[in-house]
């Protein structure tokens, strides 16, 4: 009986040790998998513009009879792909640094009204020159501690998306107010909106709702991941909701 008790205790201990090690390995395995996915997706995203540029350059080399018009078209296309590569690598670097805590958030007391006027005035001006109406409504009369560089980057990401995913005649309204000791910034557009299934994934790295459409709009699928990181680093949160009757609202909530 004693020997059997020992054997059973040993088997139980083995299973227990296996279970505990599996559980404690889970976060490490998940992080490793995320890293693998990031590298795979990054390589895939970089490969496409590089093949386009390579193809265009090879054609220019092997087809010396190309007209000036054909050549300039190839240069324009290559240039737009180079710009895409540039923005992809910049976004990847930002995300890589965010993951390794290399980028510190440096908060400074900021006059939110003056700050937002400055960051968003190019968009308001651009709106008045185009068929998209951009308006700003800031009702914050106190200073708030924010990392200006990062919140600037966040507003640009949200504004660029609002413009990219809306059409002529649509409106984009940015508002800011203090609510329950929190700074609430909302970017609301009347654009194409986001489906319920896509809403679950839009903050994932490299996720794009419509891959083919987004190549035209020049998206990388990294913007909202960066936006989410910036907000989290401020201990805040970012939520997405439908605008009525159509469009999307991104709400950023930052504790004071
Ligand atoms: P991208 O570079 O493709 O814009 P993001 O991470 O910024 O990548 O956004 C992820 C996806 O979320 C976009 O591809 C788009 O499908 C969707 N999205 C983001 N903002 C909006 C918006 N204002 N209106 C509609 N769809 C949006």
pLDDT at 101: 66
Nearest-atom number in ligand 1 for the CA of 187 is: 23
How far is the centre of ligand 1, averaged over its atoms, from the C-alpha of 165 (Å)? 7
> What integer pLDDT is reported at residue 139 of this predicted model?
93
ipTM of the predicted structure? 0.98
Q: What is the mean pLDDT of the chain?
A: 87
Q: How far is the CA of 155 from the centre of ligand 1 (A)?
A: 14
Closest CA to ligand 1's atom 7: 223
CA distance 109 to 148: 9
Which of 154, 157, 164, 212 has most ligand 1 atoms within 8 Å of CB, for mutation? 164
Q: Which residue's CA is the closest to the ligand 1 atom numbered 14?
A: 208
How far does the centroid of ligand 1 lie from the alpha carbon of residue 148, in Å? Answer: 23
Q: Which one, of 229, 224, 236, lies nearest residue 145 by Cα?
A: 236
pLDDT of residue 80: 85
CA of 63 to the centre of ligand 1 (A): 39
pLDDT digits (tens, 9 = 90+) for 194-251: 999 999 999 988 888 875 555 556 677 889 999 999 999 999 999 999 999 999 999 9
Instruction: Tell me the per-residue pLDDT of 138-179, one tens digit each, with 9 for 90 and over.
Output: 999 889 999 999 999 999 999 999 999 999 899 999 999 999
- The confidence score (pLDDT) of residue 148 equals 94
Full-model pTM:
0.80
CA 68 / ligand 1 centre spacing (Å): 37
Among 110-114, 128-132, 164-168, the least confident range: 128-132
Report which ligand 1 atom has the smallest distance to the Cα of 222.
6
pLDDT confidence of residue 186: 98
The pocket around ligand 1, CB under 6 angstroms, is made up of: 161-162, 165, 189, 191-192, 194, 202, 207-209, 214, 219-225, 248
Q: What is the pLDDT of residue 102?
A: 64
Q: Give residue 154's pLDDT.
A: 95
178 sits in which H/E element: strand 171-179
Where does the pLDDT of residue 6 fall: very low under 50, low under 70, confident under 90, or very high at 90 and above?
Answer: confident
CA of 190 to the centre of ligand 1 (A): 14
pLDDT bracket for residue 181 (50, 70, 90): very high
| CA pair distance 52, 151, nearest whole angstrom | 34
Among protein residues, the one with the nearest Cα to ligand 1's atom 11 is 208
Who contacts 153 (Cβ-Cβ below 8 Å, separation ≥6)?
Answer: 226, 230
Would you state the pLDDT for residue 93? 85
Q: Tell me the H-state helices in 66-136.
A: 68-99, 112-129
* Atom 21, ligand 1: residue with shortest CA distance: 161
pLDDT of the residue at 161: 93
Residue 49 has pLDDT above 90, yes or no: no
120 pLDDT above the threshold of 80: yes
Ligand 1 geometric centre to CA of 209 (Å): 7
Collapsing DSSP states into helix, strand and coil, what is residue 202?
A: coil
Q: List, for residues 66-111, the tens digit of each pLDDT value.
A: 788 888 888 888 888 898 888 888 888 888 887 666 678 899 999 9
């Amino acid at each position: 009986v004693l020997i059997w008790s020992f054997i059973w205790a040993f088997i139980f201990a083995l299973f227990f040790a296996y279970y505990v090690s599996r559980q404690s390995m889970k976060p490490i395995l998940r992080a490793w998998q995320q890293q693998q996915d990031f590298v795979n997706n990054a390589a895939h995203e970089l490969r496409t513009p590089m093949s386009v540029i390579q193809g265009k350059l090879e054609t220019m080399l092997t087809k010396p009879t190309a007209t000036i018009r054909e050549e300039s078209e190839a240069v324009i296309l290559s240039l737009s792909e180079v710009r895409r590569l540039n923005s992809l690598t910049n976004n990847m670097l930002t995300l890589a640094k965010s993951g390794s805590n290399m980028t510190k958030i440096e908060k400074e007391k900021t006059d939110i009204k003056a700050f937002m006027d400055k960051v968003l005035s190019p968009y308001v001006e651009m709106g008045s020159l185009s068929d998209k109406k951009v308006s700003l409504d800031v009702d914050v009369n106190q200073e708030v501690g924010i990392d200006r560089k990062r919140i600037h980057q966040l507003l640009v990401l949200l504004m660029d998306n609002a413009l990219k995913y809306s059409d002529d005649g649509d409106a984009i309204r940015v508002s800011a107010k203090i609510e329950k000791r929190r700074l609430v910034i909302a970017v609301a557009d009347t654009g194409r909106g986001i489906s319920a299934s896509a809403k679950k994934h839009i903050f994932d790295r490299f996720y794009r709702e419509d891959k083919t459409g987004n190549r035209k709009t020049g998206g990388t699928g990294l913007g909202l991941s960066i936006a989410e990181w910036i907000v989290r680093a401020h201990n805040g949160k970012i939520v997405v909701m439908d605008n009525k009757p159509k469009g999307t609202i991104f709400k950023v909530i930052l504790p004071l």
